[in-house]
Chains A and B, each alone.
Chain A
Amino acid sequence: MSGTVWHRPASLADALALKAELGDDALAIAGGTYLGVLLSTGLIDPPEALIALGGIAELRGLEVDGDVLRIGALETHRAVERSVAVRQGGFEALADTFALVANVRIRSVATVGGVLADADYASDPPAMLCALGAVVVLASSRGERRLSIEQLILGHYETAIEHDELLVRVEIPRPERAAYLKFRSRGSEDRPCVGVAVVRRAGLRVVIGAASDRPQVFPELCALADGRELTPELCDEIAGGYAERLEALDDLRGSAGYRRRVTRTLVRRGLEAIA
């Protein structure tokens, strides 16, 4: 019946030591927009301990290094949205994606690490990061490992992050062209009903978010664009294939059938936007 213990480690090493010691009994907390809702609505019981990451300088940073953008896990959505380095470094579509999340109050506290570690299906950034081929760096006192978004997000609220690990940063290679289309079926601050991220580098990568438990990509359909121009016919063909193969769920934002229908429209619109 005693309350939750708050830890405020000042360094990553201290945080990882705490994670190693406490494991699942301690939850990491940054912006609190996810854990706060879970706790206040009683969806989870208060944990024995919370590890507040706010004081860890190593988890911050937004920098473009050559062709790679590195974002510290603690950077907020708002910081990415407003970053000159991100916008002028060829990652404008990513900044725009973060700018579409909820409202400015949420974006000012919700973190990049948080939205990935939550693995909430109804989110915008994971699909875009997945389309961009982002790599997530996980750290523990045992060392570091690097995962793709597909490897990180396993299902509803389920990730590959081990009990002693923390997500410390994301590394994103620069795209040639990229666009993110957020489809909301209700208000302007709603979570996505469907999110479509399209990225062109050497090849095409189209990722659908918010339609099921994790971002979905169909490489064979993307490969149709290899070496070809994105004609309206090709856009239609890829869009139709995505709608057909999409795994979709029903929720108050739309039924599975509806999600497939709007996916077709959005993939086509997204491809046209980068054609």
Chain B
Amino acid sequence: MNERVTGAIRYSQDVERPNMLHAKIVRSLAAHAQITRIELPGGIPEGCVLITAADVADCRPYGCLVPDTPVLAETARYVGDPIAAVAAPDPRLAERLARAVAVEWSDLPAATDLEAALAADAPVVHDVCEVASRRGAWSGMRPIDGTNVSHRSRLIHGRGEAGFDEADVVVEGEWTTASAQHAPMEPHACLAEWAGGRLTVWTGTQTPFNLRRELATAFGLAEADVRVIAPPMGGSFGAKTFTRIEAIAAALARAAQRPVKLVLARDELFLTLNRHPTRSRVRLGATRDGRFVARRVWSWWDTGAYADTGPNVAAKGAWAAVGPYRFDHVEIDADCVYTNRPSNGAFRGYAATQAAWASEQCVDMLAERLAIDPLELRLQNVLRDGDRFATGELMHDFHVAECLEAVAREIEWDRSRAGVGLCALMKGMQTPSRAGARIELADGRLTVHAATAEIGQGPTTVLPKLAAEALGADPRLVTLAEIDTDVTPFDTRTTSSRSTHMMAGALGEAAEALRRALADELEAAPGDLRFTADGGIEIVGTPASRRPLASLPALSGEGEHVIEGGLDPDSGQGIASAHWHQGAGAVRVAVDRETGVVEIVGLAAAVYAGRVVDASRAALQNDGSVVMGIGSALYESIEFSDGQVTNANMGDYQVPAFRDVPAFAATLHELPGAEIHGLGETALPLVPAATGNALRALGLAQSHLPIHPERVLDALDRSGA
């Protein structure tokens, strides 16, 4: 971590290659248009290149779930869609050239928001069935022909909607969320180079192996002919997942026959990947005494012009809308909808933020209707070990109830509930999932090769620590190597708070394999080996057998941890997550009744962590998650006008600053000896929903996220206060 503070760390934008060029993207000014002409008046200066869709006509569209994304668009599908790119020896020249490029186009009808995209006669962004049938598309895609719905995710449990006939009371509401930006400090940056028919890309990415596959698809290469090297990132939060700018850099490098570096400017991040805006309709049925009976949810997820991971976000949003509760009957439709907007994809809190904003407020609606304490209502219905979730899976190691009780204590629920709201949450990790790791011994040093990307969350500390624990060696002997897909074993990706959990398994196996290799070398039983404090290894009980590690030949051990599962796309039944991220939040607000300004005056977040590997980093991640939640609750909203982002800068788009963060209590509930639980993003979704319920407790219920004081003032007017 220290190297981030001193500036010694080398990010992907610090990578340099001889004779490299600098790139700039030329973007569409139209939300939906056929590009008819692109040229550089006065011609292309020597040593520079300009490429358009025609120059990548041989490339295939790519995408992590749907191959719908061209390297450069001939039909532009959003304001900001890359339609051409230039490279020049100097970044400023590249910028000037990009600005000077003249573009002609003919406009097509555009659907620039969810409402427009879902209208009966909506312009179609893609032929959804055609793109879903392309080679490489996810087989679980359920597009709705002739519409913008690229995927409808369904979940049916019990008798579904029909089960409401067993409910005494039914409440229903509709909620919406705005688009948000990840706003990492470091922008996207990559460098692409071709040599001997192979493509090498240095890029900050959470998904090096997905990127390798997508680049291989795009350029018609074998995966082995694409090499992804992933330096550490200065934040990502989901922004640097799958293929973002790498294919454009690679196409420029191919045209220029020189290495090309592409670094985005801040405003371009808002045109590259954002969080899904959503609309959700939630209906909740219960018995008179508060037992949950049935839940029905319809939700719409604006995935933008290219699906990216949107169908998966909608699928997760489907079961996330159930919440951590027992239900007899559940029916959910979650639609992933194309619009003429920048793509929306993975974002810390992955679908849970939007789902909890709606579903957890619906729980409080019911509490109000039944005049039952919202804490009691939750505790009455919350899942516990041995219960079955709506997906059919059996819950284990489940502690949401304890988290709820902890935050209620912290916020002094029993003392005063004025302006206090709660939220309970469960979140899953990427399932199925596969993680590989290798531990190498050479020259007396132990090196871990594992594709967990360093985003600031600390795998450079945590993975060596896990490897050292498994080996019984001093962690100071172990370092984590940079990710290089030519060298590093396969890993699904660094997302969904899965890495520490998954890598603990893989490193455990790798350590055993290395111990076996060492045992062979020392002609001993693996269980008899012991690493010594001074960097040696010996056979237990035989100090004379001690050998310095440096005297051993190069040895290595490899391990893999595989988790099966997944949900049936038509019923939502199966294994949604191999382990559950669990938490509860409580927020106390104060409202300026003359301006509608909401101040968070108390905030408690409790996250179940199971076994904690590195206490300080775990706590810092949890704290960061809370702070980001405050931004989502009160400030963060990407604004559009006719499809164009109007606040693509950090002045007009607001993230929380130090003075916006109240003193808060974020706790991790540890259970020594339990499984390692993901914890990097559980707290974020708790904050907006708990804040919404806090306002609801004051009679100032809000339907739209983020909460703007103007709408709070409107609610005050309605409440007659």
Contacts and interface: CB of A to CB of B under 8 A. Distances in A.
Contacts of A261: 595, 713
Contact of B595 (A103, A183, A186): A183
A1 B267 CA distance: 23
B635 A186 contact: yes
Interface stretch (B124-132, B299-307, B533-541, B652-660): B652-660
B195 interface: no
Interface string A232-263: 00000000000000000000101100100110
Contact of A103 (B45, B100, B657): B657
A252 B708 CA distance: 10
Contacts of A190: 651, 654
A108 interface: no
Interface string A93-113: 000000000110000000000
Contacts of A45: 99
A186 B96 contact: no
Nearest to A4: B92
A188 B710 contact: no
Interface stretch (A7-15, A36-44, A49-57, A200-208): A36-44
A188 B655 CA distance: 10
A42 B99 contact: yes
A187 B651 contact: no
B649 A41 contact: yes
Contact of A188 (B265, B659, B709): B659
A37 B660 contact: no
B99 A185 contact: no
Contacts of B655: 187
B713 A258 contact: yes
A185 B648 contact: no
Report the contact-size class of chain B (Cβ under 8 Å from the partner). 35 or more
A255 B708 CA distance: 11
Nearest to A254: B710
A266 to B, nearest CB: 8
A144 to B, nearest CB: 33
Contact of A262 (B42, B595, B631, B657): B595
Given A103-B657, A258-B710, A265 B651 contact: no
A21 interface: no
Nearest to A37: B649
With most chain A CB atoms within 10 A of its CB, the pick from B42, B594, B655 is B594
A59 B710 CA distance: 42
Contact of B654 (A41, A187, A254, A258): A187
A188 B657 contact: yes
B688 to A, nearest CB: 15
A187 B597 CA distance: 10
B69 interface: no
Given A3-B92, A252-B652, A265 B267 contact: no
Contacts of B709: 185, 254, 258
Interface in A159-189: 183, 185-189
A223 B42 CA distance: 63
B637 A255 contact: no
Contacts of B659: 188-189
Contacts of A191: 651
A264 to B, nearest CB: 8
A189 B650 CA distance: 10
A19 to B, nearest CB: 25
A101 to B, nearest CB: 11
A248 to B, nearest CB: 12
B106 interface: no
Contacts of A258: 709-710, 713
A252 B637 contact: yes
Nearest to A259: B710
A1 B94 CA distance: 11
A83 B45 CA distance: 52
A255 B654 CA distance: 17
A265 B596 CA distance: 11
A82 to B, nearest CB: 18
Contact of B708 (A46, A183, A185, A265): A185
A186 B713 CA distance: 14
A188 to B, nearest CB: 4
Contact of A41 (B267, B597, B657): B267
Report the contact-size class of chain A (Cβ under 8 Å from the partner). 20 to 34
Main secondary structure of the interface of A (DSSP, over half): loop
Contacts of B652: 252
Nearest to B98: A42
A46 B95 CA distance: 11
Given A1-B100, A187-B660, A190-B654, A41 B713 contact: no
Contacts of A40: 265-267
Nearest to A183: B595
A47 to B, nearest CB: 13
B639 interface: yes
B708 A41 contact: no
Given A40-B265, A265-B594, A1 B96 contact: yes
A265 B635 contact: no
A59 B163 CA distance: 76
Contacts of A187: 631, 634-635, 654-657, 660
Interface in B621-646: 631, 634-635, 637, 639, 646
A191 B651 CA distance: 8
With most chain B CB atoms within 10 A of its CB, the pick from A41, A102, A183, A187 is A187
B86 to A, nearest CB: 12
B647 interface: yes
Contact of A252 (B96, B97, B646): B646
A188 B660 contact: yes
A197 B648 CA distance: 30
Contacts of A102: 651
A174 B580 CA distance: 64
Contacts of B635: 186-187
Nearest to B656: A187
Contacts of A37: 649, 651
B27 to A, nearest CB: 10
Interface in A44-75: 45-46
A265 B594 CA distance: 7
Interface in B655-673: 655-660
A1 B651 contact: no
A188 B631 CA distance: 11
A1 B86 CA distance: 14
Nearest to A187: B654
Nearest to B99: A42
B188 to A, nearest CB: 16
A188 B265 CA distance: 24
Contacts of B595: 183, 185, 261-262, 265
A185 B597 contact: yes
Given A185-B708, A189-B657, A252 B594 contact: no
Interface in B89-107: 92-93, 96-97, 99-100
A265 B593 CA distance: 10
Interface string B67-96: 000000000000000000000000011001
A8 B639 CA distance: 39
A254 B596 CA distance: 11
A46 B651 CA distance: 21
Given A42-B99, A252-B637, A185 B594 contact: no
Contacts of A41: 265, 267, 648-649
Nearest to B41: A1
Interface of A: 1, 3, 37, 40-42, 45-46, 102-103, 183, 185-191, 252, 254-255, 258, 261-262, 265
6 contacts: A1-B45, A37-B651, A41-B267, A42-B99, A187-B631, A258-B709
Given A3-B96, A40-B265, A185-B595, 4 more contacts: A37-B649, A37-B651, A187-B657, A258-B709
Which are the 10 A-B pairs with shortest beta-carbon distances?
A188-B659, A187-B654, A265-B594, A258-B710, A189-B657, A186-B654, A186-B635, A188-B660, A262-B595, A187-B635
